[in-house]
Amino acid sequence: MTLQPFGRRVAAVAVVTVVLLSSLSGVAAAQSTGQFGDTIVVGEDETVDGIDGVAGTIVVRGTVTGDVAGTAGTIRITETGTVEGDLQAAGGSVIVAGTVEGDVQIGAGSFDLTDTGRIGGSLDVGAGAVTVDGAVAEDVRAAGNTVTLGPNADVGGEFRYDAETFDRSPDAAVAGGVIEDQSLRGDTGFGPLPSWIGTIYSLLTSLLLGALLLLVFPAFSESVVARVTDGPAVAGGIGLLALIAVPILLVLVAVTVVGIPFSLAGIALYLLGLWIASVYGKYAVGRWALGLAGTENRWLALLVGLLLFLLLGLVPVAGPIAEFAALLLGLGALTLGLRARYHRDQSTESTRAE
């Protein structure tokens, strides 16, 4: 099937966006073997170069000579498993019972470093429940509702935590001391750097994404803005419905084992869609603001919109409300625009077929 011009541009922006996100996050995906399926398993006698996968379950029983970067319902490094590089994982449950020689970065519903687990670098984890009962050669940063430092824990650096409930065994060994750090659950991911670094980072990445959208989809971007300005109530209402309906649909898809990979991929696309919608919403407000001043410049409108919401974000109550409103406006207009484009393409294909 030949892609329509719009379809080709969608593919182009998807590829560029993935490259952009990968370069910004520092993930060297080219060094890993991309995989997608119900289950990704490295057997006990098996050695692979790396894993970069989305699956229902990822299990490492053998050796991974590079990095493991995965999104799955369950990710487990068993007692016989060894990851010679770093582990970067997002999932419902992440268990490290084997060895990771590099750093570990986790975002999950629950994380467990068992008494047989060993991390050769640092551990940075955010989860609902965090248990550290193994060895970590360097520092640990743990944020969650509950954080547990077990009796077999042996931390070579400091142990920083932020939790509603913290439990430390008297037998746990922490060379650098245990420190409560209430900033971790609100951490920007930039470690000890000043918070304004994260703000500038967010602004620049949104600016890059907005510029990409305006360059690749100029007509579509204008149609999205028109839907916001011509009918903000309709766009906001549709955005609210999409915000609620899509996660419900993804959960229903994930009910079956076969649907789990598609649901996980859908979550990634949904999050990307929310980011795009937010940028479109702020761009539309920037266009409206410049219009009041009698000026029309899409690049300036993008910058003005992003800066305006950056300033609003400094206001405790009004900031989050404004951000949410921009998201709903952008998401609704984006949904309507994609729907219109889909029907237009279908109509064009039907006409050609006749």
Tell me: the pLDDT tens digits for 123-136? 999 888 899 999 99
Task: For residue 76, list its beta bridge partners.
Answer: 59, 95
Query: For residue 263, what pLDDT is reported?
Result: 66
Residue ranges for the chain with pLDDT beneath 50: 1-34, 36-37, 187-195
Q: Residue 37, CB half-sphere, CA atoms under 13 Å: how many?
A: 9
Tell me: the pLDDT tens digits for 19-66? 444 333 333 333 344 454 457 889 999 999 998 876 678 899 999 999
Task: Identify the residue whose tokens are 């989809």.
Answer: 217
Buried b vs exposed e over 243-267: b needs ≥16 C-beta within 10 Å?
Answer: beebeeebeebbeeeebbbebbebb
- CA separation for the pair 274, 211 (Å, rounded): 16
Q: Helix 318-353 to helix 5-25 angle, to the nearest 10 degrees?
A: 140
Task: Identify the residue whose tokens are 């419905």.
Answer: 241
Query: For residue 260, what pLDDT is reported?
Result: 67
> pTM value?
0.49
Query: For residue 352, what pLDDT is reported?
Result: 62
Could you tell me where the DSSP H helices lie in the chain? 5-25, 195-216, 218-230, 232-254, 260-292, 298-312, 318-353
Tell me: the pLDDT tens digits for 291-313? 888 888 989 999 999 999 888 87
Q: Mean pLDDT, the chain, as a whole number?
A: 81
- CA separation for the pair 301, 280 (Å, rounded): 11
Query: For residue 45, what pLDDT is reported?
Result: 92
SS3 of the chain: helix, strand, coil, percent, to 5: 50, 30, 25
Task: For residue 89, list its beta bridge partners.
Answer: 70, 106
- CA separation for the pair 152, 162 (Å, rounded): 21
- CA separation for the pair 42, 170 (Å, rounded): 36
The helix (run of H) or strand (run of E) holding residue 96 is strand 87-96
